[in-house]
Amino acid sequence: MEGLQDQLKRVTEKLQQVVQRYHLLQKEHEQLSREVTALRDKEKARIIRIDELEMKMTALQSVTVQLSEPEKKEVEKRINRYIREIDRCIALLSE
């Protein structure tokens, strides 16, 4: 009879370990799900930012046709800054 009780005790202990491990994994899963959601939100914000910068770049390019040479150079500098920002955002998105 004691052998049966020992086996039952071992099974009960192992079951408790499995339940504890399950709860730990469940918490880890919830944390990772929150992180995934946060990263997706950041990605959406960066995509919106890229779209905005591209629209600004297009608007600036259309304006440069009517500008004097010094003004064109200044606009060109701004456009280059925007392009670098877009490239940086794209690099962050691809990580």
pLDDT by residue, tens only, the chain of 95 residues: 678 888 999 999 999 999 999 999 999 999 999 999 999 999 999 999 888 888 888 877 776 567 677 877 887 888 888 888 888 888 887 76
Task: Return the residue matching tokens 């990772």.
Answer: 32
Whether the model pTM is above 0.75: no
* pLDDT the model gives residue 33: 95
d(CA 50, CA 89): 7
Q: Specify the long-range contacts of residues 43-50, CB closer than 8 Å, at least 24 apart.
A: 43/93, 46/89, 46/92, 46/93, 47/93, 49/89, 50/86, 50/89, 50/90
d(CA 52, CA 84): 14
Domain limits at 9?
A: 2-93
- How many domains is the chain partitioned into structurally? 1
